[in-house]
Structure 1
């Protein structure tokens, strides 16, 4: 094991007088340490006791000594809380110097408390008499989570700068990456298979609590360094896990339908990320480019209702649809990209509505019969490559691969291509020009950057990627209608970019998963789904405006006064360079 030092100023030696400052904090640290241990043990112990008397609730949490999946989540929260407590004092205290801020335990404690309170709400829905519905095990878990949160608040703030992140042997770091990717695969398969709405909400809360605790403890900062050193291993493990996902669904066509919709949404959002995340251009009509690619594929398909008599191979259709969308981007961008800010947003919003209305009017009565108006183009046949029909169920390695799983593999390849294009553009001279325009357009122009040309390229490039996704979406949905491409869809795409983290790939993928998966799994809340979505955005803008997965430099712009974050970014930057 080795650590990478940064500079003399980053030495773990305390500053002058630091020992005297830290001495009064020792009793407070001891109290927090004891509270954390007791709370963690209570949280773990509660999972082996019944939480309610009704076996129909939350997957049967009534059996003593046999934890249900929801109770296993409480055990995981307790074990992580116990570990994060022990590294603050005692034999494991050496690890605490490499785990960053003590806020990790506080965040984990708050998340655990929210988790247990949501369990209480879920149990109470069966019986208005709250005290009668919950068994002692649930109350013990709530007390334990409360003690963990209190321990997090009692932990003294570190007065000296944290040490550089610990590095381990290469095989250990690779093993951690593989295990983490496998854990994500298992979590995605389990979450998609949850049918109980309350259990799904608790699972999401559990994931966010674990993520918040690990982020506060510096795990993700360490992981970013390890990922930079083993980027090929991470990329290979991620794609292998993604390709293995259909084999975990037991031939479920419904779950794979949700997964394919998520990938289409994510691929389109990455294209929008070029326009919004890199170039800083607010586009509120981006869904029109996805629709343009879909309509090209539909009109050139072998559907009985197709209005164009030419049926070229699908690969040719893909290029035509992507280029057509790019041309639309050039047409709308040439006269409008000379304005910016609110004016650009209004113009792009109008373009999205113009596209939808034009598709409605190209019905043969108000214009040429190209799109069949509001009726759209249904009965689009499934794709077929070299005798392989995507609409049939195939058996691979003893597992049934249904229709949507076939499209899942195709869309995964498309997503990989779009991700590659985005990453290459981001790291290129063009990408740096886009970022310069986003940060300060006037300064970029003064430094010789071709502002208008790069903005136009961003618009056309993003439209091209959306057109690619649209051509596959037409065959996946088997129909194309104008009402699929409303303004609300553009708003959701923009929200995925902002929520996940502008300018990042992982952030946009995570944002797309959250915004596409939640409405599908939370149908239990019916009309309250949009309210929950709006609440989520408000909380994100308040507590994490940089997004779920943000670029560290971009994150610092939102937290200029956070000295600890500045130190962490400096450590990460120097260690990556080393």
Structure 2
């Protein structure tokens, strides 16, 4: 009995097969030529960042082109059924090749155009630049002529447990290196090239089915995967020589943690909160007032743990006080009320300056000189030598914030899979139906609101000590510098509502891009708008979507059962029910 694969192969004409093989070989040649071009000089002057004048030693953006070319070559060889490489594309190579080729082409042509624009003309290009431009265009032209070979992934070969664990550890090590490289980029051109290469490479790996295989492994060895992720994240400060980029990582963790708390309110419970950043401010101001700042209106100095608990408790109280009278509203009305609360908080702390109101928050000047945290004699503001590595103050706060994030992730995952979490989802999907089934909608929404406020306040207590000052301008609905409510909401929607990794990725991208590309800070809201429009058009469920959202948003994309001939047993009933 012949298999479906054999039948398909027999049905394809020999000429088509030969043409496909030729195209794949051409892609491999183009990838090899792209790699070779990175060892040539692309410009004769070192005025362009990265020094692309050296022969035989890729530098700057050439390194990214080299990596992209290697990926093109690797997957081109996998498409040619080279033994030992078939595992790279469980669901097919065509779409992955197209994305990898676009990555190499985009990075190379961005570099060539940047050299031309910044240095004042095409005359600043060396022959190597022209070779790279032509070489990177070859795989793109060939890849988009390939027939689609998308298929259902076959059952993977069983490996020993130690081998599967090594794969998980290796994957997290590669992820750590890639993220560290992006954070450590020293100039805007290199970061832009990194975004092009990394973004398209990640999309290609998803299309190839390799990420699905890795997800299956991490689900199988969940505890080991969680430990590997924590170790990889904790290793980041040990890769840094200074605190320059560690501060960026600390802020990313703070904003990602707050976005994850907002995800409980928006992603699970479906409550549109436009003033969520106010709870971050409540926690930050509370910690500033009780941590011994010289500008504090209260002559108290709580220990670290007490300051953290106080900030979280006050945010919880504010969440209940604000939520109790407003959560009976729905939709746009609730959004308007929460937006008003956020603005009232900012205006209020700006008026508590001793002139317009009681002298508590310092008014527009805020509360400066917040001392560094001290925990059991360990000062977070001083450098410490750990395992032979010198860790600066921001590295200490990074590790502390990592622990806070783990706590928030545990709370989110446990709450989301609990009875109350299922009630949140029911309320989000249809509050009327959920209420009819016996769910107390007001109580359930108030719990979500209070829990989200508590987590934001917890992150705010750490933020106050990292920044060493708090001012009202830090907690706006929208502004040039994150965090703000628009930033947090965009992070949740962009990353994927109702998931854990989605808001983390969304917050990372939305913070890193303006931090690395300074000229975009004045156009942040424009960028948010464009990103959300594109997302709603091409991936409405977010970058990382849960299964429910993916099925809901793409239910019309499912293939219908053909009408010709009688359907197999049960198919007609399933189709009628759909």
Partner of 2:569: none
Query: Which of 2, 21, 43 pairs up with 1:52?
Result: 43
Q: Deviations over 1:345-366 (max 9, x none)?
A: 1111111001111112222333
Matched, 1:496 2:491: yes
Q: Deviations over 1:473-497 (max 9, x none)?
A: 1122111111111111110011111
Q: C-alpha separation between the residues in 1 aligned to 2:282 and 2:521?
A: 31
Matched, 1:149 2:140: yes
CA contact (8 A) 1:36 1:148 kept: yes
Q: C-alpha separation between the residues in 1 aligned to 2:388 and 2:152?
A: 55
Partner of 2:535: 540
Matched, 1:183 2:178: no
Q: C-alpha separation between the residues in 2 aligned to 1:408 and 1:548?
A: 25
CA contact (8 A) 1:12 1:162 kept: no
Q: Deviations over 1:61-85 (max 9, x none)?
A: 2222222243232222122212222
Partner of 1:220: 211
Partner of 2:309: 319
Partner of 1:113: 105
Query: Which of 124, 129, 133 pairs up with 2:116?
Result: 124
Partner of 2:271: 281
Superposed displacement of residue 249, structure 1: 0.8
Matches within 5 A, 1:170-569: 170-250=161-241, 252-488=242-478, 489-523=484-518, 527=522, 531-563=526-558
Superposed CA RMSD in Å reads 2.6
Q: Deviations over 1:503-561 (max 9, x none)?
A: 12212111111111221211255645655554444333333222222223322322234
Superposed displacement of residue 241, structure 1: 1.7
CA contact (8 A) 1:12 1:160 kept: no
CA contact (8 A) 1:18 1:159 kept: no
Partner of 2:573: none
Q: Deviations over 1:137-194 (max 9, x none)?
A: 2233233332222333222124764434555332222212211211222223332222
Q: C-alpha separation between the residues in 2 aligned to 1:304 and 1:280?
A: 41
Q: Deviations over 1:78-108 (max 9, x none)?
A: 2221222222334448547723463111122
CA contact (8 A) 1:98 1:166 kept: no
Q: C-alpha separation between the residues in 2 aligned to 1:245 and 1:65?
A: 31
Classify the secondary structure of the residue corresponding to 1:126: helix
Superposed displacement of residue 284, structure 1: 0.6
Superposed displacement of residue 21, structure 1: 5.8
Cα gap change, 1:484/1:159 in structure 2, threshold over 3 Å: closer, same or farther?
Answer: closer
CA contact (8 A) 2:41 2:52 kept: yes
Cα gap change, 1:23/1:328 in structure 2, threshold over 3 Å: closer, same or farther?
Answer: farther
CA contact (8 A) 2:285 2:361 kept: yes
Q: Deviations over 1:433-484 (max 9, x none)?
A: 2122222323323333332221111111100100111111112211111111
CA contact (8 A) 1:25 1:156 kept: no
- Aligned residue pairs total 554
272-281 vs 435-444, which moves further: 435-444
Matches within 5 A, 1:99-110: 99-100=91-92, 102-110=94-102
- Which is bigger in relative contact order (C-alpha 8 A, separation at least 6)? 1
CA contact (8 A) 1:337 1:455 kept: yes
CA contact (8 A) 1:502 1:550 kept: yes
> Where in structure 2 are there 5+ consecutive unaligned residues?
479-483, 562-578
Classify the secondary structure of the residue corresponding to 1:476: helix
Q: C-alpha separation between the residues in 1 aligned to 2:151 and 2:15?
A: 15
Classify the secondary structure of the residue corresponding to 2:235: helix
Cα gap change, 1:425/1:25 in structure 2, threshold over 3 Å: closer, same or farther?
Answer: farther
Partner of 1:573: none
Q: C-alpha separation between the residues in 2 aligned to 1:535 and 1:315?
A: 42
Partner of 1:574: none
CA contact (8 A) 1:88 1:96 kept: no
Q: Deviations over 1:185-214 (max 9, x none)?
A: 222333222222111211221111211211
Superposed displacement of residue 498, structure 1: 1.1
